[in-house]
A and B are shown apart, each in its own frame.
Chain A
Amino acid sequence: MKTATRIEAVNDFVIKFANVNGSGSASANELFAKAFLRMGIPVSPRNIFPSNIQGLPTWYEVRVTEQGHLGRRGGVDLMVAMNPQTWNADVKEVDAGGYLFYDNTKPLPPSKFRDDINVVGMPLTEICNATYENPRERQLFKNIIYVGALAGMLGMEPEVIAELIGEQYKGKEKLLKPNLNALQLGLNYAREHLKDALGLKTKRAYNVGEKIFIDGNSAAALGCVYGGATVCAWYPITPSSSLAEAFTFYCSKLRVDKATGKQKYAIVQAEDELASIGIVTGAGWNGARAFTATSGPGISLMQEFIGLAYFAEIPVTIIDVQRGGPSTGMPTRTQQSDVTTCAYASHGDTKHVLLFPEDPNECFQFAAEALDLADRLQTPVFLMTDLDIGMNQRLTAPFKWDDSRRYDRGKVMTAEMLEAGKEFGRYLDVDGDGIPFRTYPGTHPNKGAYFTRGTSRNPYAVYSEAGPDYQYNMQRLLKKHDFAKTLVPKPVLTPSKEPARFGIIYYGSTSPSMHEALEALATQGVFINALRIRAFPFQDEIFDFVASHTKVFVVEQNRDAQLKTLLVNDAGINPASLISVLHYDGTPITARFIQKEIAEIVSALNVRPIKKDKAA
């Protein structure tokens, strides 16, 4: 057996935990990830889980990255192999020179290992059986024991983990002590038996700063609380369910009237997505801020209502936490594959407003923004997140709120305005932006009532199938959508350090991997200007960006180049100037993938990087 090389790294490696779903590993693994943050080292963890509650394999990948690269890196430096079901595949996945940590209570034949990786065994089951009587405890504490052992081997600060355990079991002293004991058991074993077993080390850093650690679903839910949503209707669907649950949690803390104990919110778990969007439509029609959270299959079911809300002009906020489609697709995997279906949702000529947040911070911001936009534009607004952002905790800039900010309720005609004789035409464009005034039901005894319908009507909401009435309305809706460009978040430009003839367009959860890839490409002498699109309809900056580059890469996490389709079909951009780079296997896009694809295409185009002499 030859001796394996050893990967040596400080504060920059990937650890993957292979566990069995429902074994209590998730909270131990999360504790482990958070400990790095307390040591000032950024981490980026990801859950890789099956559509299952108990028994199937599940993985947790922790990228430790002092430089703050929060995208998925790819590759594994240390595999914590706790699941016999997936042993072979897990062993195979370790990078050469990497490490395999496993429970060696029962000896395994040599054929089960590789000779180019370093094997670290620890008799976890034996230790647990010797320490605990109760089988449930044996299982749960096994997780904390391996966390302790890993912390010992990696040279982590044990006080930091003890502090986290203390916070987790605050007020539950009964649980606190045994957890601390389990941690110590692991630490002691590592000190005595596994000294220098790993070439991976940690040391305190100062790169976390004020950042917070939260998943995108919770962040979006909090954004809905701050943005003034009072009605939430939803139907459980992975990966969006935790968003409605987080909204419920935050509301219970932040929205209960102190004097009366009454709730300034209403959350309805509907019978299906048709009902949830119906409830949101009814609430929006009646002047409350309302939203639903769903995923692709839910969007498919909501189509008819989305068309009604578009045509009858009702504010609706829809949060689509995208997963792998089509059909049931890959329910627990990530994709950006609902872009075109949301942009053009429902039959007939429709166009909707989409927002693309890059991380939890933008999930918070854009959720609140979406509620404003829906009211201002009186139309459905989609917040397009995905499983990668939504269900993984991510290090992100702290949330900010300006207390002088006022909710933009849009053009609402009040009883006073009606009384003063202001003309009311529900579908009348009064000032050229395509947006009409509306009245809330019950506003005035004899002015401002109208009949809302999904059939065509004249500017005064009177049923009409007359061609000119219909066309006036459809043109006005188009004008309104065009006007939305002035309201939605602008694209963000990241200029390259050197003049670049290539551009790259990306959006959403691709962001952290993209930044890492751009840095790596720059060190290879490939300079690219990058533009992150944050909304549809597209602003002029996007046209100008494409026009000022020879070729523009469009990087997406779907098969059919959906954003590119919008750029070509809706914005009239010449498809010859765009090159798609597509990643759609259900895993989050990695920097390594982007770097490789772009480098290959650039090389195939046979274009020498300009001013190579100046390259770093």
Chain B
Amino acid sequence: MTFLAKPKLHHPTLPKNKLGFTRRDYEGKVSTLCAGCGHDSISAALIQAFWELDIQPHRVAKMSGIGCSSKTPDYFLGQSHGFNTVHGRMPSVLTGANLANRDLIYLGVSGDGDSASIGLGQFAHVMRRGVNMTYILENNGVYGLTKGQFSATADKGSKAKKGSINADSAIDTVSLALLMGATFVARSFSGDKHQLVPLVKAAIAHQGAAFIDVISPCVAFNNHAGSTKSYEYIREHNEAVNRLDFWPTREAITVDYSAGGVIEVPTHDGSILKLRKLHEDYDPSDKINASAMIASAAVKGEVLTGLLYVAPDAEDLHAHLNTYETAFNTLGEKELCPGSAMLEKINAGLR
């Protein structure tokens, strides 16, 4: 963390996006996390992604649970409303918020304790409902805020800072998200900005439940030898299935990309996802193959990263519920109250 707030004055040459905002306009308060924390890199990637997508910061709602990761929404998008809810229950609050106003962009930020332990139930159900959101799990395999206990994503056999060995099986959140029906499932590494930023952008554009598990080493409690979520371990065991280029449709596609190595995935909002394939045979629309790849990588001790699965025809909860196009929080008596004449009819039917 930094102890000195950055000056508010911008350097005049700072690049601006289409809205005229610099990256600084997407920042929040000064982080209170430990220096070198992976979570701060994720915050930086989120800032970059929102800036690049020309999204008005105040049209984003940031939701989180409890824990180190859940504190981070205070550290980016300072002009957005944020809601630090209760431990493990962010998904339900996000679901309700999304139902109340379908016009905002919903970003859920959670940690492995928050999502895989206390909140595993809500994590599963928010995926099956297909809530339109970007769900970022900042996964460090450890309880940071309570000083170093194993979380449910800690690998079996991994070693805690104080020396104890984890005997419980790990919960693999990407496999679970796939199984539960998430329509966009990715995994990345907080230290790999080039992979993470396009993934976040694609997740935001995705009209459905988008999940990104981001391995984010805890410098204080899970960055030692014997840990399977340290910077060193992940760098050595990272196996990327693809690199992503993402262009929203509102921008002309001018980037020159190498033919043959790219697969185009149209998304629901009309944007085009382009996957720069590192593995020639990797098709992210094949759900069964995705599950198999994740499992076989795990056996080899590899962490498979990239866009693992995307359903181009994804639908969200509003589509399932056939809800009205106008945000509920703007509707008044005129749209909602059936009135006294109708009540008279109802009374007559009850006699």
The chain A residues found within 8 Å of chain B, CB to CB, are 37, 208, 210-214, 222, 225-226, 228, 230-231, 233, 254-255, 257, 260-268, 270-272, 274-288, 290, 304-305, 308, 398-403, 405-407, 439-446, 449-455, 463
Known contacts A400-B343, A401-B340, A407 near B333 by CB under 8 Å: yes
Q: B225: shortest Cβ distance to chain A, in Å?
A: 35
Tell which of B83-91, B188-196, B233-241 binds the partner: B83-91
Instruction: Kindly state the separation between the CA atoms of A388 and B346 in the bound complex, as whole angstroms.
Output: 22
Which residues from A are CB-within-8-Å of B81?
Answer: 439, 441-442, 449-452
The reply to whether the CB of B336 lies closer than 8 angstroms to some CB of chain A is: yes
Which residues from A are CB-within-8-Å of B104?
Answer: 286, 441-442
* 19 A–B contacts from the bound complex (CB under 8 Å): A208-B351, A228-B331, A262-B323, A266-B318, A274-B89, A281-B93, A282-B83, A282-B95, A285-B93, A286-B100, A288-B99, A288-B328, A308-B85, A308-B86, A399-B346, A407-B332, A445-B58, A450-B82, A463-B74
Most buried by A among B63, B83, B335: B83
Instruction: Kindly state the separation between the CA atoms of A208 and B85 in the bound complex, as whole angstroms.
Output: 50
The reply to whether the CB of B277 lies closer than 8 angstroms to some CB of chain A is: no
Instruction: Kindly state the separation between the CA atoms of A262 and B326 in the bound complex, as whole angstroms.
Output: 10
Q: B163: shortest Cβ distance to chain A, in Å?
A: 33
Question: What are the 3 A-B residue pairs with the smallest beta carbon separation, nearest first?
Answer: A282-B96, A278-B92, A287-B329
The reply to whether the CB of B313 lies closer than 8 angstroms to some CB of chain A is: no
The reply to whether the CB of B101 lies closer than 8 angstroms to some CB of chain A is: yes
Instruction: Kindly state the separation between the CA atoms of A441 and B80 in the bound complex, as whole angstroms.
Output: 7
Are A452 and B328 within 8 A (Cβ)? Answer: no
Instruction: Kindly state the separation between the CA atoms of A231 and B92 in the bound complex, as whole angstroms.
Output: 13
Total contacting residues, chain B, CB less than 8 A: 60
Given contacts A228-B332, A288-B329, A451-B74, 13 further A-B contacts (CB under 8 A): A213-B351, A226-B337, A228-B333, A263-B322, A278-B95, A282-B97, A286-B104, A400-B343, A442-B81, A442-B101, A442-B103, A449-B58, A451-B84
Which residues from A are CB-within-8-Å of B41?
Answer: none
Are B336 and A255 within 8 A (Cβ)? Answer: yes
Q: B140: shortest Cβ distance to chain A, in Å?
A: 22
Which residues from A are CB-within-8-Å of B224?
Answer: none
Which residues from B are CB-within-8-Å of A401?
Answer: 337, 339-340, 343
Known contacts A399-B346, A401-B339, A278 near B85 by CB under 8 Å: yes
Q: B21: shortest Cβ distance to chain A, in Å?
A: 10
Which residues from A are CB-within-8-Å of B328?
Answer: 230-231, 264, 266, 283, 288
Which residues from B are CB-within-8-Å of A305?
Answer: 86, 89
The residues in B between 51 and 110 inclusive whose CB is less than 8 angstroms from any CB of A are 56-59, 61, 63, 73-74, 78-86, 89, 91-101, 103-104
Are A212 and B347 within 8 A (Cβ)? Answer: yes
Which residues from B are CB-within-8-Å of A445?
Answer: 56-58, 79
Are A441 and B96 within 8 A (Cβ)? Answer: no
The reply to whether the CB of B122 lies closer than 8 angstroms to some CB of chain A is: yes
Which residues from A are CB-within-8-Å of B125?
Answer: 270-271, 275
Known contacts A401-B339, A406-B333, A450-B81, A286 near B61 by CB under 8 Å: yes
Q: Of A261, A272, A403, A442, which contacts B59 at CB under 8 A?
A: A442
Are A288 and B101 within 8 A (Cβ)? Answer: yes
Known contacts A280-B96, A401-B339, A441 near B101 by CB under 8 Å: yes
Nearest chain-A residue to B82 (Cβ)?
A451
Q: B65: shortest Cβ distance to chain A, in Å?
A: 10
Instruction: Kindly state the separation between the CA atoms of A506 and B193 in the bound complex, as whole angstroms.
Output: 65
Instruction: Kindly state the separation between the CA atoms of A204 and B95 in the bound complex, as whole angstroms.
Output: 54
Which residues from A are CB-within-8-Å of B260?
Answer: none
Known contacts A231-B96, A275-B92, A400-B340, A452 near B84 by CB under 8 Å: yes
Instruction: Kindly state the separation between the CA atoms of A304 and B101 in the bound complex, as whole angstroms.
Output: 24
Are B95 and A268 within 8 A (Cβ)? Answer: yes
Known contacts A272-B121, A305-B86, A212 near B96 by CB under 8 Å: no
Are A455 and B84 within 8 A (Cβ)? Answer: yes
Known contacts A401-B340, A402-B340, A403-B340, A268 near B129 by CB under 8 Å: yes
1/0 per position for B312-335, CB-CB distance to A under 8 A?
000001100111110011011101
Are A444 and B58 within 8 A (Cβ)? Answer: yes
The reply to whether the CB of B12 lies closer than 8 angstroms to some CB of chain A is: no
Most buried by A among B103, B124, B351: B351
Known contacts A266-B321, A287-B329, A445-B79, A231 near B347 by CB under 8 Å: no
Are A454 and B96 within 8 A (Cβ)? Answer: no
Which residues from A are CB-within-8-Å of B122?
Answer: 271, 274-275, 278
The reply to whether the CB of B338 lies closer than 8 angstroms to some CB of chain A is: yes
Q: A413: shortest Cβ distance to chain B, in Å?
A: 13
Are A287 and B86 within 8 A (Cβ)? Answer: no
Q: Of A263, A284, A443, A454, which contacts B86 at CB under 8 A?
A: A454
Are B324 and A37 within 8 A (Cβ)? Answer: no
Instruction: Kindly state the separation between the CA atoms of A208 and B343 in the bound complex, as whole angstroms.
Output: 19
Which residues from A are CB-within-8-Å of B324?
Answer: 257, 260, 262-264
Instruction: Kindly state the separation between the CA atoms of A272 and B83 in the bound complex, as whole angstroms.
Output: 21
Nearest chain-A residue to B128 (Cβ)?
A271
Most buried by A among B57, B333, B337: B337
Nearest chain-A residue to B96 (Cβ)?
A282
Are A285 and B83 within 8 A (Cβ)? Answer: yes
Q: A224: shortest Cβ distance to chain B, in Å?
A: 10
Instruction: Kindly state the separation between the CA atoms of A29 and B80 in the bound complex, as whole angstroms.
Output: 57
Known contacts A213-B351, A441-B80, A231 near B99 by CB under 8 Å: yes
Instruction: Kindly state the separation between the CA atoms of A449 and B124 in the bound complex, as whole angstroms.
Output: 30
Nearest chain-B residue to A463 (Cβ)?
B74
Instruction: Kindly state the separation between the CA atoms of A309 and B110 in the bound complex, as whole angstroms.
Output: 20
Q: Of A214, A257, A268, A272, which contacts B350 at CB under 8 A?
A: A214
Instruction: Kindly state the separation between the CA atoms of A278 and B58 in the bound complex, as whole angstroms.
Output: 23
Known contacts A275-B89, A305-B89, A444-B58, A266 near B99 by CB under 8 Å: yes
The reply to whether the CB of B342 lies closer than 8 angstroms to some CB of chain A is: yes
Known contacts A214-B350, A264-B331, A406-B333, A283 near B85 by CB under 8 Å: no
Which residues from B are CB-within-8-Å of A400?
Answer: 340, 343
Are B332 and A262 within 8 A (Cβ)? Answer: no
Nearest chain-B residue to A446 (Cβ)?
B79
Which residues from A are CB-within-8-Å of B100?
Answer: 230-231, 282-288, 290
Are B58 and A440 within 8 A (Cβ)? Answer: no
Which residues from B are CB-within-8-Å of A275?
Answer: 89, 91-92, 95, 121-122, 125
Q: Of A233, A264, A304, A453, which contacts B335 at CB under 8 A?
A: A264
Are B99 and A279 within 8 A (Cβ)? Answer: yes
Which residues from B are CB-within-8-Å of A441?
Answer: 61, 80-81, 97, 101, 104
Are B121 and A282 within 8 A (Cβ)? Answer: no
Are B351 and A212 within 8 A (Cβ)? Answer: yes
Nearest chain-B residue to A440 (Cβ)?
B329
Nearest chain-A residue to B329 (Cβ)?
A287
Known contacts A275-B122, A450-B81, A228 near B103 by CB under 8 Å: no
Q: B317: shortest Cβ distance to chain A, in Å?
A: 8
Q: Of A214, A228, A281, which contacts B336 at CB under 8 A?
A: A228
Are A443 and B58 within 8 A (Cβ)? Answer: yes
Instruction: Kindly state the separation between the CA atoms of A147 and B89 in the bound complex, as whole angstroms.
Output: 52
Are A282 and B339 within 8 A (Cβ)? Answer: no
Which residues from B are CB-within-8-Å of A278?
Answer: 85-86, 89, 91-93, 95-96, 122
Are A264 and B86 within 8 A (Cβ)? Answer: no
Are B332 and A454 within 8 A (Cβ)? Answer: no
Are A274 and B323 within 8 A (Cβ)? Answer: no
Q: A167: shortest Cβ distance to chain B, in Å?
A: 9
Are A283 and B96 within 8 A (Cβ)? Answer: yes
Nearest chain-A residue to B93 (Cβ)?
A282
Which residues from A are CB-within-8-Å of B338?
Answer: 225-226, 254-255
